[in-house]
Amino acid sequence: MSEVHCREALARIFEYLDGELAAGRADEIRAHFERCQRCYPCLRYAAAFQEMLARVARGQRCAPEELRARVAALLRAEQSRSGQG
């Protein structure tokens, strides 16, 4: 197994998460993320980002409906107050 450096692991992060790497290369990238304290948070962030995109693509709301309604009301009130609505 060859050593993977941070630059390569980060460059291949989405290929890794999407399962697009050959099995051996995926194992090497996974091993790097498991031991590298600097890269592991990037992996978690990228995975969370992809999960959020998947939720949006499925039409799931990312915020509770009550929060969305409050934000919409605040935006309407601000538009009225500033004369843009």
More confident of the two residues 75 and 83: 75
1 within a domain of the structure (yes/no): no
- How many domains is the chain partitioned into structurally? 1
Q: What percent of the chain has pLDDT over 70?
A: 93
Least confident of 9-13, 16-20, 22-26, 70-74: 70-74
36 within a domain of the structure (yes/no): yes
For 5-42, b/e burial (b = at least 16 CB within 10 A) is eeeebbebbeebbeeebeeebeebbeebbeebeebeee
24 within a domain of the structure (yes/no): yes
Q: Which residue, chain included where needed, has tokens 């949006």? A: 56
- Tell me: pLDDT of 8 over 60: yes
pTM higher than the cut 0.85: no
Q: Which domain holds residue 51?
A: 6-82
